[in-house]
Amino acid sequence: MYSEILERIRSRYPRKGRPLEREIARIQTVRNIIIDKTSFIRDLVRLLDNLHPFYWRLIEIEYDRRRIHEAISCISKSRKLVSSFWEKYRILLLASETPRELRRTSEEARGRMLSTIKRCSRGLELLRSLVVFLQHLPSINPSIPTIIIAGPPSTGKSTLVRQVSTGKPEVAPYPFTTKNIHIGHIVSGDRRIQVIDTPGLLDRSPDEMNPIERRAVAALTELEGAILYLVDPTPTAYMGLDDQYRLFIKIHRYTRSKRHYLGINKVDTAPSDLIARAEEKARDMVERGLAEGYYKLSAINAGDARRVIQDIITKTIPPALQGRP
């Protein structure tokens, strides 16, 4: 970034004209290029000032928040200094009495401008990479209520998200992980809700995740809304029922700040005795304070899926937030 500034200065450097005008043009060129190349930080500061904790948590997976603030402060100060050097040295150039003094003053001005920005060169690199990172964030809108669907593989999470979404769910890479986030949007009148599925994350135990994945899970808990954990009561399931509830307890441990609901899925095909067993365990979770409640549903049935999501919204999201994008 600093080398880009030098490169740009070299290519734009005024070499013609009478000595006084030329030297003034030279320091002005240096000033303009530095200001121009660092102007992105004004938008960045505005953005960071209003950034939702969800995105801050994602940023903090890879970046040190203190370093970001130090870099911003370094660059803001340099910008002010460079502008004040420009004001001051322009007057000194005008007052120079000999060509030698003119040249020396101009050199000094350029040297001081460049060295103030050079001191921030690492910060500049950092912020530039942060800007690129911010441009590639998943299109989750943290100010819209979000229901996160969790549960072991094959319990019907993707089916549920598809069923309740208005339109096709979006798939976005989840930063710093090899995983994707699937975002379903529900638009009902003027209300908007997001339903998300995180394959490879909330379908397995956080105990077995790497630190980055665990922090990616933690970031999700900043979103307003609740977690719906699906279980499949049938013995053909990927996991036995006991293991499915054990996994729920583990996921709960890492997402404690959220409200949790259980969804006993596939009631259209599951034998009634197994549904009853799943229900018994769900009641146990509610009694232990791990879940707010449970539903029996069939995610392949759109009406059923919507009813469950709607009920969770009504129960967990304050009316003031419902449908205020």
Integer Cα distance of 284 and 282 in angstroms:
5
Q: Which does 142 bind (CB under 5 to 8 A by kind): ligand GDP, Mg ion, none?
A: none
Strand pairing category for 225-231 and 146-150:
parallel
Q: Please list every residue from 150 through 189 that binds ligand GDP, using CB under 6 A.
A: 151, 153-159
Q: Which does 156 bind (CB under 5 to 8 A by kind): Mg ion, ligand GDP, none?
A: ligand GDP
CB of 245 to ligand GDP, least distance (A): 16
Q: Which does 299 bind (CB under 5 to 8 A by kind): Mg ion, ligand GDP, none?
A: ligand GDP
CB of 215 to ligand GDP, least distance (A): 23
The mark string for 263-302 relative to ligand GDP (x by CB under 6 A, - otherwise) is --xx-xx----------------------------xxx--
Among residues 184 and 206, whose Cβ is nearest to Mg ion? 184
Helices assigned H by DSSP within 157-240: 157-164, 211-220
Q: How many CB atoms lie within 10 A of CB 82?
A: 23
Q: How many CB atoms lie within 10 A of CB 289?
A: 9
Among residues 110 and 252, whose Cβ is nearest to ligand GDP? 252
CB of 158 to ligand GDP, least distance (A): 3
Q: What kind and span of H or E run contains 261?
A: strand 259-264
At residue 38, the 3 state secondary structure works out as coil
Among residues 151 and 169, whose Cβ is nearest to ligand GDP? 151
At residue 245, the 3 state secondary structure works out as helix
Displacement of CA 139 from its chain's centroid (Å): 9
Q: Which does 233 bind (CB under 5 to 8 A by kind): Mg ion, ligand GDP, none?
A: none
CB of 59 to ligand GDP, least distance (A): 29
Q: Which does 14 bind (CB under 5 to 8 A by kind): Mg ion, ligand GDP, none?
A: none
Q: How many CB atoms lie within 10 A of CB 248?
A: 24
Among residues 203 and 213, whose Cβ is nearest to ligand GDP? 203
Give phi and psi for 124, each to the nearest 5.
-65, -45
Integer Cα distance of 240 and 225 in angstroms:
28
Integer Cα distance of 325 and 190 in angstroms:
9
CB of 279 to ligand GDP, least distance (A): 16
Residue 280, token pair as written in the block: 């018994």
Residue owning tokens 């094959």: 154
| Binding residues for Mg ion (CB under 5 A) | 158
CB of 197 to Mg ion, least distance (A): 6
Q: Which does 269 bind (CB under 5 to 8 A by kind): Mg ion, ligand GDP, none?
A: ligand GDP
Q: Are 295 and 262 spatial neighbours (Cβ–Cβ below 8 Å)?
A: yes
Among residues 233 and 323, whose Cβ is nearest to ligand GDP? 233
Among residues 31 and 266, whose Cβ is nearest to ligand GDP? 266
Residue owning tokens 């040297």: 111
Following DSSP, what letter does each residue of 303-323 receive, concatenated? Answer: HHHHHHHHHHHHHHS-TTTTT
CB of 198 to ligand GDP, least distance (A): 10
Residue nearest to Mg ion (CB): 158
Q: Are 139 and 301 spatial neighbours (Cβ–Cβ below 8 Å)?
A: no
Binding site for ligand GDP (CB under 6 A): 151, 153-159, 265-266, 268-269, 298-300
